[in-house]
C-alpha cells in the first residue's frame, strides 16, 4: 500500500520542533498578527527573493485580495486556464470580475501566450497564469503581453513554491504572486494558510489593509476589506517547515529522477520541463491515453493517485456560461482525460517508488493488449 499523501511521516520527523513552536505561540499571549506572522513573512520573502510578503487566510483569498489590490473591478475580464483547481476562478468571481478561459500549451499545460494574445479584448484587465503542478508558465512572453496591452498579472503559485525561471522565483514576475499552504502543498500548514508576495510597497500596504477590514496601522478603515489573516500558530509551524524546505525539495527531485528512470521507456508521457527553469514538482503527472488501465493497476495494489484536474472548469455548471460561444479548449479537454498524478512527497521511500513504477508498467502493458 502506498498513500497518495501522508503528512504524518513528516510530522513524526519534525515533531519536537513543531511542539516547541506551538508552545511558544500559546505562551506568548498573542494569537493573531503577532511576531510569528511577521517573522514568517520576512523569511518567506527572502525564500522567494522579493521585498514584501503578506500572510493571509488561504490561497484562494491570496488570489482574491491580489486582484482587489490591483484594482480589478466588476465587468473586468481576467484571462486564465480551465485546467486548474476551482479556487483560481472562484477568486476571480469573488473579486467581482469575469474569468475568460484560454487554452494551454500542449507540452507544459500552462497558459499559452499565443492564445492569450488572440483572446485579449477591450475589457481584459489581467492575466492569471497557474504554474501547474509546479512548472513555471512562460512568464517572459506573458509579461511582454501585459506590458504591450497594459494588463496586470497575478500569478497562481499554489503548486509552485520552489519553482523558478531564469533564476527568478515564480511569483516575482507579475504584480502579485499568490501561494497556498493547504496541507498537501510543498509547504503545507496544519490547516489553512496563504501568502501574497510583491516587489511593490504600495501593493503590500494595500494587501495588509485588505486582509483586515481595510485598516491602516492606526486601525482606521481606508477601504473595504475582508478578514483573512494567517494566524500565529500556522505561521510558527510554517517557519519550522520552511527551515526544512530546501531538503524537502531535494528529496522531491531525487524521487522524480527515480520515477523518470523507471518510466522513461514506457508509452506514458512524462512531465515536461522547460529551458532554464526549475520545476517545483508539487505533483508528478504522467499522461496516458488509456488511463483507466493504469488506474486499475494502481488500485489493485492499494496505491493512491490523483487527477489534477479531472473536470476542466469550463465544463462545471458554475462556469459554463462564462465560456459559452468561446473557442473550444482542445488541449485542456484532451489532457483532462489523460493526466494521472502519482504519489510524490519527500518522505516517500524508494521501495514505494518501485512499487508505483511496477504498477504503472503493469497497467500500461494491460492497456497495450
Ligand X SMILES: Cc1ncc(COP(=O)(O)O)c(C=O)c1O
Nearest residue to ligand X on Cβ basis: 59
Candidates 10, 60, 198, 332; binder of ligand X (CB under 6 A) is 60
Pick from 133, 129, 204: nearest CA to 163: 133
The torsion region of residue 172 among left (phi > 0), alpha (psi -120 to 50) and beta comes to: alpha
CA gap 259, 354 in Å, rounded: 8
Q: Of residues 159, 169, 206, 211, which one binds ligand X by CB under 6 A?
A: 159
CA distances 187 to 87, 269, 281, 292, 335, Å, are 18, 27, 12, 31, 27
Q: Is 180 in the site for ligand X (CB under 6 A)?
A: yes
Residue pair 56/211 in contact (Cβ under 8 Å)? The answer is: yes
In Å, how far from its chain's centre is CA 221?
A: 31
Task: Return the residue of 25, 45, 59, 228 that touches ligand X, per CB under 6 A.
Answer: 59
Residue 303: phi and psi, rounded to 5, are -105, 125
Residue 304 near residue 5 (C-beta atoms within 8 A): yes
Shortest Cβ distance from residue 77 to ligand X (Å)?
19
CB of 62: closest distance to ligand X in angstroms? 7
Q: What is the per-residue binding string for ligand X in 80-109, x denoting contact by CB under 6 A? A: ----xx-xx---------------------
Q: How many residues does the chain have?
A: 369
Site string for ligand X, 192-231 (x = CB under 6 A): x-x-------------------------------------
- Any contact of residue 77 with ligand X (CB under 6 A)? no
- Cell of residue 173, nine digits: 514576475
Instruction: Give whichever of 165 and 187 is closer to ligand X, judged by the CB atom.
Output: 187
In this chain, which of 40, 101, 173, 182 binds ligand X, going by CB under 6 A?
Answer: 182
Give how many residues touch ligand X by CB under 6 A: 15
In the block, residue with C-alpha cell 505533483: 283
CA distance 114 to 184: 32
Give the DSSP H/E element, type plus range, for residue 207: helix 201-210
Q: Which of 158, 163, 230, 359 binds ligand X (CB under 6 A)?
A: 158
Closest CB to ligand X among residues 110, 359 = 110
Strand partners, 168: 165
Note whether 156 binds ligand X by CB under 6 A: yes
Binding site for ligand X (CB under 6 A): 58-60, 84-85, 87-88, 130, 156, 158-159, 180, 182, 192, 194
Amino acid at each position: 500500500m502506498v498513500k497518495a499523501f501522508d503528512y504524518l511521516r513528516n510530522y513524526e520527523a519534525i515533531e519536537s520542533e513543531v511542539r516547541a513552536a506551538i508552545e511558544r505561540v500559546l505562551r506568548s499571549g498573542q494569537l493573531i498578527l503577532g511576531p510569528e506572522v511577521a517573522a514568517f513573512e520576512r523569511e518567506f520573502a527572502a525564500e522567494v527573493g522579493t521585498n514584501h510578503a503578506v500572510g493571509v487566510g488561504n490561497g484562494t483569498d491570496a488570489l482574491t485580495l491580489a486582484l482587489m489590490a490591483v484594482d480589478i473591478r466588476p465587468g473586468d475580464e481576467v484571462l486564465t486556464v480551465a485546467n486548474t483547481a476551482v479556487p483560481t476562478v472562484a477568486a476571480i468571481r469573488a473579486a467581482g470580475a469575469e474569468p475568460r478561459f484560454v487554452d494551454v500549451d500542449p507540452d507544459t499545460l500552462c497558459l499559452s501566450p499565443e492564445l492569450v494574445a488572440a483572446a485579449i479584448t477591450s475589457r481584459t484587465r489581467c492575466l492569471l497564469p497557474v504554474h501547474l503542478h509546479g512548472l513555471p508558465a512562460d512568464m517572459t512572453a506573458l509579461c511582454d503581453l501585459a506590458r504591450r496591452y497594459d494588463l496586470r498579472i497575478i500569478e497562481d503559485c499554489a503548486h509552485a513554491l520552489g519553482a523558478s525561471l531564469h533564476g527568478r522565483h515564480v511569483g516575482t514576475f507579475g504584480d502579485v504572486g499568490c501561494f497556498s499552504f493547504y496541507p498537501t502543498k510543498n509547504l503545507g500548514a496544519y490547516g489553512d494558510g496563504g501568502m501574497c508576495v510583491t516587489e511593490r510597497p504600495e501593493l503590500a500596504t494595500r494587501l495588509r489593509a485588505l486582509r483586515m477590514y481595510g485598516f491602516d496601522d492606526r486601525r482606521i478603515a481606508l477601504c473595504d476589506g475582508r478578514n483573512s489573516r494567517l494566524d500565529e500558530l500556522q505561521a510558527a509551524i510554517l517557519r519550522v517547515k520552511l527551515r526544512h524546505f530546501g531538503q524537502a525539495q531535494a528529496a522531491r527531485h531525487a524521487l522524480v529522477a527515480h520515477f523518470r528512470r523507471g518510466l522513461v521507456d514506457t508509452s506514458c508521457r512524462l512531465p515536461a520541463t522547460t529551458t532554464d527553469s526549475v520545476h517545483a514538482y508539487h505533483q508528478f503527472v504522467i499522461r496516458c491515453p488509456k488511463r483507466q488501465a493504469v488506474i486499475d493497476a494502481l488500485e489493485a495494489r492499494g496505491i493512491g493517485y490523483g487527477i489534477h484536474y479531472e473536470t476542466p472548469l469550463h465544463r462545471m455548471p458554475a462556469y459554463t456560461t462564462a465560456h459559452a460561444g468561446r473557442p473550444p479548449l482542445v488541449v485542456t479537454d484532451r489532457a483532462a482525460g489523460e493526466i494521472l498524478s502519482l504519489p510524490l512527497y519527500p518522505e516517500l521511500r524508494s521501495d514505494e517508488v518501485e512499487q508505483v513504477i511496477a504498477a504503472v508498467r503493469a497497467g500500461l502493458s494491460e492497456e497495450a493488449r
